[in-house]
């Protein structure tokens, strides 16, 4: 049976959205674009898991995570806070645009020019504002945070932006990076809680 989407390759994956067998290429390239995939689709879940692993291994982000793990984590927490509290359907490209504006503002200030790059899209602007507020706190060393330089700030932002550009180029509706940092930051929080409250012998921690 041929794939009903391309009518060329053999349909080998069951697509719950179409209730039909489709080829793996159409499944991978058209999911969440022309195919309205349900969240529990096994192929969608597997694809996300694969992309998450790719992000974890993405060289710019991997390198900066080694050099500035605390600062990068704080930036990512300020990003995911926007999705968790304001816009549940926030997209990677909106985060990318918000961070690009912030980076341009920082680079412009280095040239002694006071100009703030802003977006007319409130979703993008709120991302910018959230990250900017966190960065300013860390640059000043407030709340016991390690003070960071402008160069370190730019390096962290650029590493995230490069990662997002790659993901958005493949899929403008991507949420892969946001899904990744949600899991990553939640994992750090759980480790922190467990270190403060070590489990008793025989107790299973989920």
Under a CB-based contact definition with an 8 Å cutoff, are residues 81 and 130 in contact? Answer: yes
Q: Is the pTM here over 0.85, yes or no?
A: no
Question: Is a pLDDT exceeding 50 seen at residue 35?
Answer: yes
C-alpha 143/C-alpha 45 separation (Å) is 38
pLDDT of residue 59: 62
Give mean pLDDT, residues 33-43. Answer: 84
pLDDT of residue 198: 45
pLDDT of residue 53: 62
| pLDDT band at residue 190 under the 50/70/90 scheme | very low
Categorise residue 148: left if φ over 0, alpha if ψ from -120 to 50, beta otherwise: beta
Under a CB-based contact definition with an 8 Å cutoff, are residues 168 and 174 in contact? Answer: yes
How do the domains of the chain map onto residue ranges?
1-38, 48-194
Question: What secondary structure letter does DSSP report for 15?
Answer: E
Percent of the chain with pLDDT over 70: 82
Question: Is a pLDDT exceeding 80 seen at residue 29?
Answer: no
| pLDDT band at residue 95 under the 50/70/90 scheme | very high
The predicted-structure confidence for 114-151, as pLDDT tens digits, reads as follows 899 999 999 999 999 999 999 999 999 998 899 999 99
pLDDT of residue 108: 96
């Amino acid at each position: 049976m041929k794939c009903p989407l391309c009518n060329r390759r053999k349909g080998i994956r069951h697509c719950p959205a179409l209730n039909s067998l489709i080829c793996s290429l159409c499944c991978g390239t058209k999911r969440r674009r022309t195919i309205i995939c349900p969240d529990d689709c096994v192929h969608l879940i597997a694809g996300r898991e694969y992309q998450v692993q790719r992000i974890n291994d993405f060289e710019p982000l991997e390198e900066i995570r080694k050099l500035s793990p605390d600062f990068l984590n704080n930036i990512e927490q300020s990003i995911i806070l926007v999705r968790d509290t304001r816009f549940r359907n926030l997209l990677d490209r909106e985060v990318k645009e918000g961070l690009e504006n912030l980076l341009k503002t920082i680079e412009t200030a280095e040239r002694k020019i006071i100009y703030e790059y802003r977006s007319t899209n409130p979703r993008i602007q709120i991302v910018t504002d959230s990250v900017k507020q966190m960065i300013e706190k860390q640059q000043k060393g407030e709340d016991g945070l390690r003070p960071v330089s402008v160069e370190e700030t730019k390096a962290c932002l650029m590493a995230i932006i490069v990662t997002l550009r790659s993901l958005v180029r493949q899929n403008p509706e991507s949420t892969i990076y946001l899904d990744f940092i949600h899991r990553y930051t939640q994992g750090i929080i759980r480790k922190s809680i467990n270190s403060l409250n070590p489990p008793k012998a025989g107790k299973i921690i989920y």
